[in-house]
Each structure stands twice: as C-alpha cells, then as structure tokens.
Amino acid sequence: MPSNKSVSDAPIVQFTNCRILRDHRLQREDLWVREGKILNPEKLFFDEKGSADLQLDCKGSIIAPGFIDVQINGGFGVDFSLATDDFKSGIDLVSQKILSHGVTSFCPTLVTSPPSVYHQVLPQISVKNGGAHGAGILGAHLEGPFISKEKKGAHPEHCLRTFEAGAFQDLLNTYGFLDCVRIVTLAPEMKRSSEVIRELTKRGICVSLGHSVANLSQAEEAVQHGATFITHLFNAMLPFHHRDPGIVGLLTSDKIPAGRRVFYGMISDGIHTNPAALRIAHRAHPKGLVLVTDAIAGMGLAPGRHTLGQQVVEIDGLNTYIAGTKTLSGSVATMDTCVRHFQEATGCSIEMALEAASLHPAQLLGIEHNKGTLNYDSDADFLMLNDNLYVQATYIAGQEVWRQDASSM
C-alpha cells in the first residue's frame, strides 16, 4: 500500500522485532518513525492509509529513549570549565563521543570558576538539537560558586562566593549571561538564597541543592521557593542523621508542595556511592532518581593527571582525586556504565534503570513531552541495547548516529 503523500513526503521507517520501553514496561511492538518523531501506527493505517517505506529488523533488541546527562563536566581531554579559544570544538568533540554511551542530550556543566571564565564560556554554549554531529545541548549546568566552603569538594575555595545585598544581581554579575543556563546548583543555607531561587525558577532555570551543610528545614524551604533537584545525593552534603537528615531527608519529606516532585542526581559508578546507599535512595524515592555521570575531562583517557576547572586531578583506575589528596573530584564513568551498575546494585527492573537515565531527567527539565519517552509525537531519540544493557546503536531524530562495530561486539 503506498504512503499517503498528501500528509507528508517524508519516508516512514518501521523498526521491527524489538521490545520498546513505553509506559514503564518493555512491550513487544514495532516502532514507527517519520520526520524525526515517533509515529502512531493506528493513525498511519486508518487515517492516512499509509505503510512503511523502510523496515529495519532489530533482532530482538531493546529500544529505549536516549540517555540525558544533566551533569557532565567534560571528557576526552575537554574541560567545560576552562576558557579556551577552541571551546566550541571541545564541546563538539564531547557531544560526538558520548553518542557511543547512549547519551542523546546533555547539560555541559561548569564547576566553580572565576567570573571571567563564566563570561567567556557561557556565550559560547548554545542550546541546539542533536544529530550526526553529536548529542543535543539542553543548556548549561552551573555548579557553584554559591556553595558551602565546608562541602566544597573539588571546587576551588578562592572562587567561592556568597550572596550580598542585591543577591540576584550578584548572581547575574558573576555569570554575566543566563540565556543558555538550564540548572544552577547552590547551597540553600546561604543568606538571601530564597530570593535567588525564586528569581531563577521564574526564568525557567532549575535550581539544584548541593555542596551544602543545609539542615532539612532549610532544604524544605528551598523546595517551597522552587528548587526541584539535589546535586549528587550523599556527596558534598551533611551525612544522614536520624534527628536531622539534612538534604537527604527531602526524599521522604512531607513538606514538599502538592503536585511537586523532588529529583536527585546519583553518580552510580561504584565509587561515589556505596551500593547500599544507592539501594536506600532508590527504595525511598524511586521516581526521583536521576543518573548523572559527573564525568570530567579524564573520561575516556588513560589514568594520570587532568584538569577540573581550576584544579589538577589525578585518575587512578576509576577513582579521580584532587592531585595529592583523597578528595573525590568527579568521575570517569560513562552513562551506560552507570545504568548497568545501578541496575545490578539495586536489583531494580531494566525499565527502571533505563528510565533513571532518560524519563526522569526529562521530567526534571520539563521536556518529557519531547524527550525521555517513546510516546507518539515525541522526538525519535532512542537506543538499541542488548539484554545486558550494552548500547548497540544510537539514533537522534530517527537517524542512526552511532553503531557498535560488529567486529568489536
């Protein structure tokens, strides 16, 4: 039966012999794609009287939404917190290379830096769709410099800042440019943070709580003012205490405004978070868990010395430390590795592991109508994976942008 060209001349591709992650479960059905979107086959058959122009046999693969990494500091020798003349080529390199990890969209992340770095780098980050050139850029994640000295982690102390009398103006002066900013991590116990959270939220910027010594009531107040995310749960915050669980207590707080969900990032690399801690968080609040890599420039490179913003870091196996210390500084884990480790450590379903890297980050950013699902009319950004969750191919807007070389499988 010929396609109904009065509706669209674009070819229709039918992916067959696959299990699709849709409505929180793997379903044996075909995936239909046209013009970069997921197509409803019933409308195609009954309204358009159309059919596929091309059929692709997926050989039993899982098809899942593309992964979304909302915290990635760099990789492959590129550090997003370094103001270089070839910054754009660096970000292009990372966006191309992470396609093999199943990442189809990401938020390039800058750690605490001097204002001059933000002023130089942020105008060079443009929100754009992904494609054969690389993963899409959803906007920058600015982690600091408005964070706690006590929980600075790998962030340079001399660059940390506080909010003065004109708090939001301080933030604007520091960053210089908010057009491309999607997430800001700050410490909610800082004076005047409430007005900053409100102003950022008004502008559609997600506020994340992290690198903080906040108690639970300070964290709850920040959520009531609009904060919706926690940066790398358990890392760079007060440890859980039964009398005041701190930011961690948000996972089971009864003070979250009705209809709101608090999401939290976790670095599931087997190093930053003990498997038991992963299990505790997952069982307490499974729908808020967002897998992040927190990857640094050394991801994809050999062990040795690399940078993270203003600091020198040392990679030793999968551990990354500030050089000469035992302070963890980002990770070298890839997103697909984090998904597999999370599934293994928690014993959760394959569906839950995949959604923690796709649906949940999309919901956090409010883009779940376009990304993070395989619902009809959403963007055709998806992965083919085997049963062990190794990525076999990556698609953006329905086009294959990366495929595992058959000889190395």
Instruction: For residue 295, give the nearest of 82, 19, 11, 79 by alpha carbon.
Output: 79
Helices 216-224 and 193-202, axial angle in degrees (round to 10): 30
User: Is 235 known as a binding-site position?
Assistant: yes
In angstroms, how far apart are the furthest CA atoms of the chain?
Answer: 69
The active-site residue out of 79, 269, 294, 336 is 294
User: Is 214 known as a binding-site position?
Assistant: no
User: Is 204 known as a binding-site position?
Assistant: no
The CA distance from 216 to 275, in Å, is: 24
User: Is 155 known as a binding-site position?
Assistant: no
So what's the pLDDT on residue 366? 98
Task: State the first-to-last Cα distance of the chain, in angstroms, to the nearest integer.
Answer: 37
Mean pLDDT by 10 residues, the chain (409 residues): 56 96 97 96 78 94 98 97 94 98 98 97 97 98 98 95 94 96 98 98 98 98 98 95 97 96 96 94 98 95 90 88 90 96 97 98 98 98 98 98 73
Are 380 and 372 in contact by the 8 Å Cβ rule? The answer is no
72-365 carries CATH number 3.20.20.140: yes
Provide the 3-class DSSP secondary structure of residue 110. Answer: strand
Helix ranges, 21-152 (H): 41-42, 87-97, 115-121
Tokens of 250: 């948000």
The CA distance from 88 to 222, in Å, is: 34
The CA distance from 10 to 396, in Å, is: 16
So what's the pLDDT on residue 317? 82
User: Is 243 known as a binding-site position?
Assistant: yes
So what's the pLDDT on residue 319? 87
So what's the pLDDT on residue 2? 46
Q: Phi/psi of residue 264, each to 5°?
A: -145, 140
Are 70 and 142 in contact by the 8 Å Cβ rule? The answer is no
Are 140 and 108 in contact by the 8 Å Cβ rule? The answer is yes
Active site residue 170: no
So what's the pLDDT on residue 249? 98
So what's the pLDDT on residue 396? 98
**Beta strands per DSSP E along 228-354:** 229-230, 263-266, 289-291, 304-308, 311-316, 319-322
User: Is 101 known as a binding-site position?
Assistant: no
User: Is 285 known as a binding-site position?
Assistant: no
So what's the pLDDT on residue 35? 95
DSSP 147-202: S-STT-TTS-GGG-----SSHHHHHHHHHS--TTEEEEEE-TTSTTHHHHHHHHHH
The CA distance from 43 to 141, in Å, is: 39
Fold of the 13-64+373-403 domain = Urease, subunit C; domain 1 (2.30.40)
Q: Are strands 62-65 and 382-385 parallel, antiparallel or unpaired?
A: antiparallel
Q: Do the domains spanning 13-64+373-403 and 72-365 agree at the CATH topology level?
A: no
User: Is 329 known as a binding-site position?
Assistant: yes
Query: What is the residue extent of each domain of the chain?
Result: 13-64+373-403, 72-365
So what's the pLDDT on residue 50? 76
